Each structure stands twice: as C-alpha cells, then as structure tokens.
Amino acid sequence: MQRRKFLQMSSLGASGWIINPTFNLRNKTVTKPLVITTWETGIAANEAAWRILSADGRALDAVEKGVMVTEDSINCCVGLGANPDRDGIVTLDASIMDEYGNGGAVAGLERIKHPISVARKVMENTPHVLLVGAGAQEFAVQQGFPLEPQKLSEDAEAEYKKWLKTSQYNPVINVENGRAKAGGESAFAPMKLSNGAWNHDTIGMLAIDVKGNLSGSCTTSGMAFKVRGRVGDSPCIGAGLYVDNEIGAAVSTGLGEEVIKTAGTFLTVEFMRQGYPPEAACKAAVERVIKRNSVDKAKTIQVAYIALNKNGQTGAYAIQKGFNYAVYSNDRKNELVSSKTAF
Ligand code: SD4
C-alpha cells in the first residue's frame, strides 16, 4: 500500500502535476500580466483590458471590461449592432470563466447591450452556468440591465435587406481569404460589411494578471442570419471558452457547430495539460475538426483557437488563412499577429 502510494505520488509529482519531460510549468519564468484577444477588434478591447491588468487588477475584470468595448461598438459585429438571425432579430451569446474554474453564460439574449456582464452575473449571483432566451433577459433586467430598443443598426439593416433578397440559408462565417465559395448549408464565404469590416461576429479574450491568475471571456451575435434559436459555441463552456487556472485557457472563433462537436477549448487546454505549448495545443484541436470532416469540406470551414498557458505563453491556430489576434504585455504592446493555419 505504502509502495503503491509512493509510486502514484512520484508519477504525479508533489503538487499533483503529471510529470512530462516537455512540460514543467513550474520552472519557467512567467510573462504577466498579458492579454490575448481574437481578431483585429481585439486591439481596442486589449487597451481597456490592459488598463486594468497594468494597474495590478484582476484578470476577470480585464476580460469583462475588455470585450465590453467591442459590445459597445456599433461598427462591429458583436453586440446589438450586429447582424440579426434570419427573422431579423439580434440574439447574443456570451460566456466568462474566472480563476476558480467558475463559469457563467447567456444564450439567445435580446435587447441587452452587455451580454458578457450578464454572463458574469449568472456566474456570481446564481447557482447556474447558462441562462437562455426570455429567462436570460428577465434575469438581466432583474439585475439592473436596461432593455434597449429592438432595432437593427444601419449596417445590420442593410446587410439583412441584402440577404432577404435571396433568403438563402447559407450562413457566412469567418472565411476571409476568399477561397471558399458560398453554395449550400455547409459552405462559408467571405463577406465584407458596408462599413468595410469583416464579418467577425465574435470576440474572445484571455488574460493572466500580476498574481498569475487566468480568466477568459467570449461574446458574439453568433452566425449572421442563423435559424432563430440557434446557439453556437461561444456560450458553451468547454466549447467556445475554457479556463483551468492550473494549466491555461483557450477561446475559439469560427463555425461554432464544429467547435461544439469537438469540445474545442476544453480539448485545447487538455493538450496543454499533456505538455503541448499553446500553439501546438491549438493546432491539435484544429486538426481534430479537420479529421472529422473531409479535407474538401474542412477547406470551407473556419475554426480558430487562441490559447494562453500558466506561464503567460500564447499561441493560436486556424483552419483558414485570415485569422489574426492581438497580444498586449509589457513587451508586446498590442501586437497584431497573423495566425498559422492548416491550409
Ligand atoms: C458562433 N463561433 O456562433 C461563433 C461565431 C464566430 O466570428 O466566431 N464568428 O458559431
């Protein structure tokens, strides 16, 4: 018994970590604070997050306040200014996780400006993780969030009218390089909005604070012109967002259905637990998506992950070209980086 216990302890290490020759987070210097965010819209969001992190604030506050900037921006496809579902209604999804592994989320939320803050209230003020639809809105109002008018932004209205001309169920998502062609439910084509922005409907942010604690957030309007009631990966803990304060955190963007089916961000964090650096972990999770599709099909899909480990190391990987992300630390002053890709 004693011998078995000793053997178990020595394979796990004194603190319970699985020992892997390529992975020993404890002996490395930690880059902190740091924030990493999906897409070029991450630049403005990082500024807000960095103000909190550089003043020794908590990562959780940084990832909430950071993505609120994007939710506020009427020129972005996140928040109430975003594209509606195919019935013409904007429905928002968001999730947040803290350093204790707590999570909160909302899905199909209407007429509320900051779904990320409602997600945080779900996490902190209820015993639940996910509230949806009318119930999520009722909860938000009870928590003091104002109900905004049911009105599309100018850009969204223009895009919706354009879409209504054909009303083709051909949801468009995140394929920026123009190689993929529209045509059928599973094809995804690039789309530029009338304001010149690309159709990123999501922002995902991960941060490590001066104490070395990790948190993450994700907020989205989901897929443009989606079926009413469709929920993507972003509010699903373990799909769109996952944080394990012992190991690392990951957040996704792209075609949510593929991310959900592979538990993408949980998988990415588990790869980091096995010793993969963040970029390799993201790559392995992307490869899992490709593996369950034909290569031709995978070429029409975009899925991208960013990851941050406990040492403040970052990485990303995407199926398609065109995905980028922004990193802000003491050394990397809001650097915009192009992700490596499978194709
Ligand atoms: C979704 N993952 O709802 C989101 C969409 C997205 O940039 O990332 N858009 O499937």
Nearest ligand 1 atom to the CA of 226 is 3
SS3 127: coil
In sign, the C-alpha dihedral spanning 15, 16, 21, 22 is: negative
Task: Report the percentage of the chain scoring pLDDT > 70.
Answer: 83
Nearest ligand 1 atom to the CA of 222 is 3
**To test ligand 1's pocket by mutation, which of 37, 236, 255 has the most ligand atoms within 8 angstroms of CB?**
255
Per-residue model confidence as pLDDT tens digits over 115-143: 999 999 999 999 999 999 999 999 999 99
Residue with tokens 């104490």: 211
**Alpha-carbon span 29 to 117, nearest angstrom:** 33
Which among 238, 255, 250, 251 has a CA at the least distance from the CA of 292? 255
**To test ligand 1's pocket by mutation, which of 253, 320, 339 has the most ligand atoms within 8 angstroms of CB?**
253
Is the CB of residue 254 less than 8 Å from the CB of residue 304?
yes
The residue count for the chain: 343
Rg (CA), the chain: 20
Per-residue model confidence as pLDDT tens digits over 135-187: 999 999 999 999 999 999 998 999 899 889 988 776 555 544 332 333 333 33
Cα 11 to averaged position of ligand 1 atoms, centre (Å) = 40
CATH code, 2-334? 3.60.20.30
**Alpha-carbon span 254 to 277, nearest angstrom:** 22
Structural domain boundaries in the chain: 2-334
Task: Report the percentage of the chain scoring pLDDT > 90.
Answer: 73
Cα 255 to averaged position of ligand 1 atoms, centre (Å) = 6
Average pLDDT value for the chain: 87
Strand pairing class (248-254; 103-109): unpaired
Q: What are the pocket residues of ligand 1 if the criterion is a CB atom closer than 6 Å to any ligand atom?
A: 173-174, 200-202, 220, 222-223, 232-234, 253-256
- Mean pLDDT over 273-280 rounds to 98
Residue with tokens 């990082």: 46
Task: Retrieve residue 317's tokens.
Answer: 């990987």
Cα 186 to averaged position of ligand 1 atoms, centre (Å) = 14
- Residue numbers annotated as active site: 202
Which residues are paired to 309 by β-bridges? Answer: 248
Cα 256 to averaged position of ligand 1 atoms, centre (Å) = 5
Task: Give 300's pLDDT tier (boundaries 50, 70, 90).
Answer: confident
Nearest ligand 1 atom to the CA of 254 is 8
**Alpha-carbon span 233 to 305, nearest angstrom:** 12
**Alpha-carbon span 1 to 15, nearest angstrom:** 20
Per-residue model confidence as pLDDT tens digits over 198-218: 456 899 999 999 999 999 999
Residue with tokens 């900051």: 114
- pLDDT reading at 287 higher than 50: yes
Atom 3 (ligand 1) nearest CA: 222
Is the CB of residue 325 less than 8 Å from the CB of residue 37?
yes
Is the CB of residue 206 less than 8 Å from the CB of residue 249?
yes
